[in-house]
C-alpha cells in the first residue's frame, strides 16, 4: 500500500514558500514610504503664490513688479485692456496720461488671481514685455491709443 508520504519525504499538503509573499510586502511598503516622504517634501518646499509687489506708472504705460514670474492672460476687449495674473496682491488704482489721452487703471482681486484693467475714452492697444530682474520679475506694459 501507498502511504501519504511522497518519495522525497515531503508531505502531500506542503505549505507554500512564504519568501515571495514577504518580498512583495517589503517592496510595497518601501514604495508607500517613498510616496509619503516625497509628498511631505513637496509640501515643505512648495513655493507660495506669486505676489504683486508694486505698480508704477511710466511715460508710456505701467510697470508691475512681482516676486517671480506669474502666469499671464491678456486680452483687448472693445478697446480696453484686460490682463489676468495668477498672483496675489492688494487692490490698487490710478490714472496715467498717454499722448494726450487720460487712462484709468485698476488692479482688483478675483477668485482666479489679480485682474488689471486699463480704460480710456479712446480705444487702447497694449504691448507687454516681462523679464527677470534682481529680486523678482518685472512686467513693462506699453499702452497707446489705437489709430
Q: Which of 73, 51, 54, 72 is nearest to 63 (CA)?
A: 54
State the alpha helices, DSSP H only, in the chain. Answer: 19-45
3-state helix, strand, coil in the chain (%, to 5): 20, 50, 35
- Confidence at residue 45, expressed as pLDDT on a 0 to 100 scale: 85
What is the pTM (predicted TM-score) of this model?
0.68
- What is the arithmetic mean of pLDDT over 129-138? 90
Q: Name the average pLDDT for the chain.
A: 85
Q: Of 73, 68, 81, 72, which Cα lies nearest the Cα of 136?
A: 68
What are the backbone dihedrals phi and psi of residue 79, each rounded to the nearest 5 degrees, phi first? 85, -5
Q: Is residue 5's pLDDT more than 90? A: no
**Residue 14 in this model has a pLDDT that exceeds 60:** no
Beta carbons of 120 and 126 less than 8 angstroms apart: no
Give the per-residue pLDDT at 13. Answer: 56
pLDDT of residue 94: 92
Q: How far apart are CA 47 and CA 119, in angstroms?
A: 34
Amino acid at each position: 500500500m501507498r502511504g501519504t508520504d511522497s518519495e522525497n519525504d515531503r508531505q502531500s499538503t506542503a505549505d507554500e514558500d512564504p519568501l515571495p509573499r514577504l518580498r512583495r510586502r517589503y517592496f510595497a511598503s518601501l514604495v508607500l514610504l517613498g510616496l509619503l516622504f516625497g509628498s511631505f517634501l513637496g509640501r515643505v518646499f512648495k513655493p507660495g503664490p506669486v505676489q504683486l509687489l508694486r505698480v508704477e506708472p511710466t511715460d508710456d504705460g505701467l510697470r508691475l513688479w512681482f516676486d517671480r514670474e506669474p502666469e499671464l492672460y491678456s486680452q483687448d476687449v472693445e478697446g480696453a485692456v484686460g490682463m489676468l495674473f495668477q498672483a496675489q496682491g492688494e487692490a490698487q488704482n490710478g490714472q496715467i496720461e498717454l499722448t494726450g489721452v487720460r487712462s484709468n487703471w485698476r488692479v482688483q482681486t478675483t477668485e482666479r488671481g489679480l485682474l488689471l484693467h486699463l480704460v480710456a475714452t479712446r480705444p487702447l492697444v497694449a504691448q507687454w514685455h516681462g523679464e527677470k530682474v534682481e529680486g523678482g520679475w518685472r512686467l513693462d506694459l506699453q499702452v497707446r491709443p489705437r489709430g
